[in-house]
Structure 1
Amino acid sequence: MTNNNRPKLVPRLTAVTLGVHDIRRSIAFYEALGFARKAKETGEAIAFYDTGASLLALFPWDQLADDAKLPDQPRPQAFRGTTMGWNCSSPEEVDAVLAFAVSCGATLIKPAHKTEYGGYSGYFADPDGHAWDVVVAPGIEVGDDRRVHLAD
């Protein structure tokens, strides 16, 4: 049974918020990576970055947990079940992004390598251990606008 009075909702991901231990350090890291900070009047309460089609936000870990009504402890030391992606247009770009991220303070988790699906990928972690997959993958095009384009 459908409800004809229900508004048509379009699912979309508009923001990813990362809980961080030291917001000052994380702001410096993401600015060093080249993300454009917006709404700077928030100071160190929260930081917003324009990523193209969505936002990346940094928020103190304990405050984010409190806001979501989730326990702050124990903080995970292992894989969290989530990665962020930085799609590239070539293997050379993957290598360059990984080297650049490490020069900005990231930790290399997994060096770039050919994947079993015909791509090329490597991983780095930000100062709080949030994992980033840097990848070029068949069927995923990075346009001149630097946005990801998928075939229908």
Structure 2
Amino acid sequence: MEQRVSFITLAVADLAASHRFYAEGLGWAPEFFDAEEVLMFRAGPQTVLSLWDRAHFEAEVGAPAQTGPGVVPITLSHNVHERGQVGDVLADARAAGASEVSDGVEREWGGYTGYFADPDGFRWEVAWNPGPVGRLVLPPVSDTTRRVDTGTDAG
């Protein structure tokens, strides 16, 4: 088996709410959307985030384990090129209706991160990681990325 992840699939309670949050709120462009069953976004060059209606998920995969109150034991991470971008993304998530948005915090490992929750409570970490693993997951900085993400003029 090759060392890679192709799809990340999350079972969601309300597909319409997920569409409003991700597509309309955060501005993500769906690759595929079936309003009754699934919403898919390209999350990287060879990775798709699939938000699957919970009933359809359970019919194919099985019922999720019940663990009681707390957070779902998974986080998704969106890494950024610059420390200041963490606050920008958290503000975008808050404006999109994210619940449980935390401010960015300096981490003991040298990075800076904050979290927000999507409509189903899945936690997204927004991270600036200046180390080698942090750089490994970032796309190359293009002129467009500089202008959009950092506000600097690439020309």
TM-score by length of 2: 0.79
Gaps of 5+ in 2: 146-155
Q: CA deviation at 1:109?
A: 4.1
In the alignment, the residues of structure 2 paired with residue 72 and residue 116 of structure 1 have an alpha-carbon distance, to the nearest angstrom, of 34
| Residues 1:58 and 2:51 aligned together | yes
Paired residue for 1:113?
105
- AA paired with 1:133? E
Find the counterpart in structure 1 of residue 17 from structure 2: 25
From 141, 145, 149, the counterpart of 1:144:
141
Structure-to-structure mapping, 1:23-102, within 5 angstroms: 23-31=15-23, 32-40=25-33, 42-53=34-45, 54-69=47-62, 71-72=63-64, 74=66, 77-102=69-94
CA-based RMSD of the aligned residues comes to 1.9
User: Structure 1: which amino acid aligns with 2:53?
Assistant: P
- Following the alignment from structure 2 to structure 1, what is the Cα–Cα distance between the partners of residues 94 and 36? 24
Identity %: 29
Larger radius of gyration: 1
Q: Hey, what's the Cα distance between the residues in 2 that align with 1:97 and 1:47?
A: 22
In 2, the alpha carbon distance for the partners of 1:75 and 1:27 equals: 26
- Read off the aligned partner of 2:56 and give its amino acid letter: Q
Are the equivalent residues in 2 in contact too, given 1:123–1:132 (CA < 8 A)?
yes
Q: How many residue pairs align between the two structures?
A: 136
Where structure 1 has 5 or more consecutive residues not aligned to the other structure, the ranges are 1-8, 147-152
